[in-house]
Amino acid sequence: MAQILRDRIDKDGKVLNDRVLKVDSFLNHQVDPHLIMSLGQAFADHFKDRQVTKVLTLEASGIHIAFATALRLDIPFVFAKKRPASTQQGSGVYTAEVESFTRGQTCSITVSKDYITSEDRILIIDDFLAAGNAALGLISVVRQANAEIVGVGIAVEKSFQTGRKRLEDEGIEVLSLARLKSMDPATGVEYVKE
C-alpha cells in the first residue's frame, strides 16, 4: 500500500515549499476513491485484531479516509466538527483547541458526547501528520470521554516535523502509510527508508 501512495505523491503531488505538500488532485480537493479505499484497507488490515469500535477524524480532509477505514472494519466513524452546529448543545460536547497547520488559525473542535463513550476503543485517522496538533486535539476528545485510543493512522506523515514524536511521547502507536523525510520544490519528496 505504502508504495501506491508514494507513487501517487511522486506523480501528482506538488511540493509548494519545504514544509507543505499539495495533494489536491487526489486526496484533499478532488478525490480518487480507489486510492482512498486502498488507504482504508491498509489501516483496517493493520488494526483489525484490536477491537476498534469507532474511527474518529476531523472534518473535512480526514472524512473520506475515515469512511473507507470504518467501512472495511465494519464499524461507524465520527468526525469532529470545526464549527459547532446549532444542533450541538454546549454541555453535550467534548471540545479541544486545535491550531491549524495550513491555515494558521486556532479553532475549537467538537464531538457530541452521544457518539464517544467510555466503552469505545478509538482509531484516529487523518490525512496528514505535521506538528501533531490535529491528532492531539482528537486524542484530548477521546480522553475526555474516558475511551481507549487504539492508535493513530495517517496517510502522509511529514517525519521532519514533530508530530510523530509528540504522539509517541503520549504512548500512542502511529501507523503512517507514507513517511516524508524531506521535501524540496526543485527535487520533490524524499521518503523515510523503512
Nearer to ligand 5GP, 55 or 134 (CB): 134
Query: Segment 76-135, which members bind ligand 5GP (CB under 6 A)?
Result: 101-102, 126-134
- Contact between 76 and 56 (Cβ < 8 Å): no
Could you write out the three-class secondary structure of 22-63?
ECHHHHHCCCCHHHHHHHHHHHHHHHCCCCCCEEEEECCCCH
Q: Does 23 bind ligand 5GP (CB under 6 A)?
A: yes
Strands 106-112 and 93-99: antiparallel
Enclosing H/E stretch for 126: strand 121-129
| 9 three-state secondary structure | helix
Q: Does 36 bind ligand 5GP (CB under 6 A)?
A: no
What's the closest the beta carbon of residue 183 comes to ligand 5GP, in angstroms?
8
Dig out the grid coordinates for 92 from the structure.
Answer: 453535550
How many angstroms separate the CA atoms of 84 and 93, rounded? 9
Each residue 133-162 as x (binds ligand 5GP by CB under 6 A) or -, in order, gives xx----------------------------
Nearer to ligand 5GP, 42 or 125 (CB): 125
What's the closest the beta carbon of residue 132 comes to ligand 5GP, in angstroms?
5
Number of chain positions touching ligand 5GP (CB under 6 A): 18
Contact positions toward ligand 5GP, by CB under 6 A? 20-23, 28, 61, 101-102, 126-134, 163
